[in-house]
Amino acid sequence: MNIKQDIIWRVWLTFGLLSLFALAIMFYAFKIQVIEGSKWKSMADSLVSYKNIEATRGNILDCNGNLLATSIPIYDIRLDLKADGISDAIFNDSISILSSKISNLFKDKSAEEYKNILVNARKHGERYFLFKNKIDYNFVKQLKTFPIFNLGRFKGGFMVEQESMRMMPFKHLAMRTIGYKNEDNTRVGLEGAFDKELSGINGQRLMRKISGGMWMPLNDENEIEPANGKDIVTTLDVNLQDVSEHALMMALEENLADHGCAILMEVSTGEIKAIANLRRKLDGTITEDFNYAIGDNTEPGSTFKLISVMCLLEDGLAKITDSTGTEGGEKKYGEKATMRDSEPGGYGTITLQRAFEKSSNVAISNFVTKAYGKNPKQFTDHIIKLGLNKKLGLQINGEATPLVKTPDDKKIWSGTSLPWLSIGYEVNLSPMQMITIYNAIANKGKMVKPLLVKEIKSFGSESESLKPIVLDEKICSDATLRSLTTLLSGVVEHGTAKILKNPNYTVAGKTGTAQVADKNKGYTDKIYQASFVGFFPAENPKYTCMVVINNPKRTDKNGMLVYYGASVAGPVFKEIADKVYSTNIDMQKKTLDSTFSKAKIPIIKTGSIHDFKTICSSLGFNYVYADADEESDYVNAGINDSSYHLEEVRIHENRVPNVIGMGTKDAVYILENIGIIVRLKGYGKVTQQSLSAGTPFDKSTIVELTLE
């Protein structure tokens, strides 16, 4: 009995202890789940969480499909040096050869240094060690073949994380308009204005927090895949943009100017084909960090006289044949305000047409004050009707707010406001607003809003076209338009812009020279702004162009400051217009001789088949595919039986291609694109290459091209 009771006692004691233990478990489970549930849940959330995977940002393209901004993939390499497959034996046997291969690949550290890095990381138990960051895929592909790394993620601890980096293939070309991310992570330009379309939708991946505060993916797959951003197609033409920026840069350097801008607009659509904005820094270098074309509000000066004359003609208060005196080139308005002409002694008695051509301040102000002196609001109402008192509402951020004084503004309107307003002072407008007005004259009175983006494209779905927006169907009558075109043509034919007259195409436009007020000193310092705005060809306008250059400091041989619009801004306009004319066959007056013999077809350099077909289509040359087809990228065009016979230029991986006969641009592009370093000697087309076609090469290979 004693043994039986002892057993029973032990059983009940065990049962009691187990019951207490079970109750304790239930209590703590209740405590953890209910009483302290929020605490532990937040802690768990802090250790395992969904993290955003950034979507690939969309591309920005020019009107011909050239990439202006794109996102390229870059990769971070992380290592789990305690992965299951990395035993001590495997690690010790492979570390030396692994370190040697890594050193040979990156050539930035010795094999011994890499070995020490990996040994120390394993010693410290690194599970998510950042080994390399921001490398391209070629490096990743080679790393995957190295010892240990070739075991994969779970056995070899080799983890690859993809990110994207924004790149502008044409570097600084139109940089401020295309846009970028500022230091405060805000985006400017088109990157900012179309951020929603370009950004796409981020995906998600489940991540676990490990020691050191690092986040490590729990698996290889994303829980939610990112949706890539849309592409936007701009109206910019990269070739015209290049010419515009180069011409503007040369003008800034030659005239020692502070900053400037150049805009090229297509007349009928308002499409901006080029928009250059450059500034001289204190160290003398030139950069593009502000969009002066849309964000710089200044007094336009004489280019505003077009609007003054438009008002006079529309109201029937003057004809271009009417005359007025220029009062010796000076006229006082009040006791302190004196208006002067650039011509000493003035122009005598002069017609409105001649006053416009010679840009006489006194004459234009005489016409306007005589017509509107008793009712200046009638004059300013015309300006308001043109919409110059408000923003254009462009597709890009940063547009400055214009200022147009009116008689209703008692605090800022004075007795001298009307005459000074008539010649482009006491009004603040951006270059984009001015070119929009001139473009309307070229467009038979129809004012269209400047267009920078014309299409939004999404892979696998229909693209969205952004059509031109008409701001005003008719800004003035046809009779006024004819008179204004006559005046603008006269400025170039025998006025202040005679240097722009050329035998190839006609130009109609207006020079502008304004003294710019300093924010602190007013007009005490002689700071000038030179400008020219016009359209071409004058009889059938296709393009409007405006150039503004601020604070030129060059002096002539007599020590006189050169600051007039024709001599400072005019050459930039001419270079841009010449480029447009020379590359636009439809604009050229001279046609090909209809008797041109097909036997005399010219030799064409080896190059892009796209460029070749464009030339042949435009000039009517025949061609046949001999050893090439429509899928070829580059061709050599031999001549046979009065037509071109196309032979494909073959490009093989790791073999030097044949670039003899190509132009410099095509040859350099092909060679550098496959990883060959190019050195040039001479100029023209390629006549010799230092390594013959078919020679194997590596990343350090240099090929010298002889050009003639």
Q: Give the DSSP letter of residue 211.
A: G
Residue 575, pLDDT above cutoff 60: yes
Residue 593, pLDDT above cutoff 60: no
Q: Which of 281-285, 324-328, 583-587, 669-673 has the highest mean predicted lDDT (pLDDT)?
A: 324-328
Q: Which of 264-278, 279-293, 603-617 has the highest mean predicted lDDT (pLDDT)?
A: 264-278
Please tell me the predicted confidence (pLDDT) of residue 223: 65
Task: Please give the single-letter amino acid code of residue 367.
Answer: F
Residue 490 has, within 13 A of its CA and on its CB side, a CA count of 17
Measured CA to CA, the distance from residue 9 to residue 197 in angstroms comes to: 78
Query: Among positive and negative, which fits the CA dihedral 658, 661, 666, 668?
Result: positive
On whether the CB atoms of residues 418 and 373 are closer than 8 A, the answer is yes
**Angle formed by the axes of helices 478-494 and 305-314, nearest 10°:** 140
Cβ neighbours for 221, distance < 8 A, ≥ 6 positions apart: none
Q: Give the DSSP letter of residue 650.
A: -
Can you give the length of the chain in residues?
A: 708
Give the pLDDT mean for 636-659: 79
The percentage of the chain sitting over the pLDDT mark of 90, rounded to a whole number, equals 49
Q: What angle do CA 73, 74, 78 make, to 5 degrees?
A: 135
Query: Domain 239-585: what homologous superfamily?
Result: DD-peptidase/beta-lactamase superfamily (3.40.710.10)
Listing DSSP states for 91-124 in one string gives HHHHHHHHHHHHHHHH-SS-HHHHHHHHHHHHHT
Please tell me the predicted confidence (pLDDT) of residue 43: 57
Count CB neighbours of 517 within 10 A. 16
Give the pLDDT mean for 289-296: 94
Domain spans in the chain, listed from the N-terminal domain onward: 2-35, 51-233, 239-585, 608-647, 650-708
What does the block give as tokens for 229? Answer: 């951003």
Give the pLDDT mean for 94-102: 92
Listing DSSP states for 225-289 in one string gives PPBPPPEEEES--HHHHHHHHHHHHHHHHHHT-SEEEEEEEETTT-BEEEEEEEEE-TTS-EE--
- 3-state class (DSSP) for residue 606: strand
On whether the CB atoms of residues 265 and 435 are closer than 8 A, the answer is yes
Please tell me the predicted confidence (pLDDT) of residue 183: 72
Does the pTM surpass 0.75? The reply is no
Give the pLDDT mean for 526-544: 94
On whether the CB atoms of residues 169 and 70 are closer than 8 A, the answer is yes
Measured CA to CA, the distance from residue 206 to residue 197 in angstroms comes to: 26
SS3 of 539-604: CCCCEEEEEEEECCCCECCCCCECCCHHHHCHHHHHHHHHHHHHHCHHHCCCCCCCCCCHHHCCCC
Please tell me the predicted confidence (pLDDT) of residue 372: 96
Residue 138 has, within 13 A of its CA and on its CB side, a CA count of 5
Q: Looking at domain 650-708, which CATH architecture does it have?
A: 2-Layer Sandwich (3.30)
Q: What angle do CA 90, 92, 98 make, to 5 degrees?
A: 85
Query: Domain 51-233: what homologous superfamily?
Result: Penicillin-binding protein 2a (Domain 2) (3.90.1310.10)
Block residue for tokens 């110059």: 388
Q: What is the pLDDT of residues 198-247, one digit of tens each?
A: 988 877 766 666 655 555 666 656 566 778 889 999 999 999 999 999 99
- Does 239-585 match 51-233 at the fold level? no
Mean of pLDDT over the chain: 87
Give the distance between the most distant pair of CA atoms in the chain.
145
